[in-house]
Amino acid sequence: MQISLPSISSQKFRVPPPAVLAATYAILIILGTCLLKIPGVSQPLAWSDALFTATSAVTVTGLSVVDVGSHFSLFGQIVVLVLIQLGGLGLMTFAALVLSVLGLPIDIPHRTYLREDLNQTSVGDLLRLVKVILRVVLLCELIGAILLGFVFIPDAGWAEGIWLSLFHAVSAFNNAGFSLFPDSLTRYATNPLVNFTIPGLLLIGGLGFSVLSDIYYVRRWQKFSLHSKLMLSGSAALILWSVASFAILEWNNPATLGAVPDILDKLQISWFQGTTTRTAGFNTTDIAGMHDSTTLTFILLMLIGGGSTSTAGGIKVTTFIVLLLATVAFFKRRQQLHAFGRSIGLEEVLKVLALTMISMLIVAAALFLMTIAHDGDFLDLLFEVASAFGTVGLSRGITTELDTIGRTVIIFTMFIGRVGPLTLGFFLATRMPPRIRYPSSQIYLG
């Protein structure tokens, strides 16, 4: 007899899978908010602060209106960590992992929800992908915690050091950016082990589990899927761009790299900040002290984000690459998009255009509402909105200054950034077959 989790028939009640996923994330946020309000879990905490923290944890963003390390008790920090893990992996993915460990089969409705949670187009390879996720998550977070333990245990002792190592390893792999230190990881800006471990976890978690599945099973570049090739090459190019641009633009800035005398230390900070910008909110330098040019570069990187089926946010690297390929194809008068000996269909291009347009509208609407509530530095507000939408968590110091309207806008932006603009587009779309076909005509553009 097949055993499965209780479910609602999407056909009977006409509930689309994206709606179920959005509802489960919302329920998890509400549950996390209530847990953070339990007496003794934290210092006096307003409901709005608890909701903001829970939303930021579930959406693996990292923006915070309170200092997690000092404001919450150990139980409160555990609640935040569990919310990060559940939100990073995806609730349906976590449920599939539990069923897989227990040896129970996964029924068709849950495979459909799992497909939406992992942003897959078919259910064929879902179970293999789930097994890869289980191995990768446990292995990476365990290795990351062990490596960080060599840094944190000597500084904080065994008990606290182990907890700090575990918390930051899980937070890094899930691209959350939450830290138990009030200055994030600035105190370890020149520590080689921290500069290797944290970015390593971020990059692995931000590549996407489908790419990791190719690396684990296929292991040959020639046989990788087109998605994996685009993701790996695109990520390498974006890392090179972000690290080099930060180093060049901030080299003599006294508020950031200019105050660091050693060249090797400057390169370490540039590497760390360049690799974390697209996905997680860890920082080892003063983000508010960056030049406007660097800030604008970071905004663009945060909006691009990481990979599909990953713990990162943004419009995704492959979306950005397809946009570039479509632009090149237009100027070269090509009818099809080509990459690595493969063509990209029209449906994928339309999906990319829809995703980008919806993302632009969301960011523009959130920024407009923020400017109404806060008549402050426009670049700081744009940075905050981009960080929330990309579920990054970097801030130029205005998060704690937000009023009720500003916090509400950021909460909704983080939620939409995690659930996905395509889910919002799914709600707005109406699937009605056309009854009449109209003749095509020409319009003038540009």
6: which residues sit within 8 A by CB, 6+ positions away?
Answer: none
Residue with tokens 């977070």: 141
Distance CA 256, CA 264 (A): 14
pLDDT < 70: residue spans in the chain: 1-17, 91-129, 421-434, 446
Q: Which of 311, 295, 322 minimizes the C-alpha distance to 386? A: 295
Handedness of CA 353, 359, 360, 365 (dihedral sign): positive
Name the pTM for this structure: 0.88
- Residues of the chain with pLDDT > 90: what percent? 59
* pLDDT for residue 6: 46
Report pLDDT digits (tens) over 198-225.
Answer: 999 999 988 887 788 888 888 889 999 9
* pLDDT for residue 395: 94
* pLDDT for residue 169: 97
Cα–Cα distances (Å) from 188 to 197, 258, 392, in that order, read 12, 17, 20
* pLDDT for residue 8: 44
Report pLDDT digits (tens) over 111-121.
Answer: 555 555 555 54
List the domain boundaries for the chain.
Answer: 17-426
Q: Looking at beta carbons, which pairs linking 356-359 to residues 24 or more positions away fall under 8 Å?
A: 356/315, 356/319, 356/323, 358/421, 358/422, 358/424, 358/425, 359/303, 359/315, 359/389, 359/421
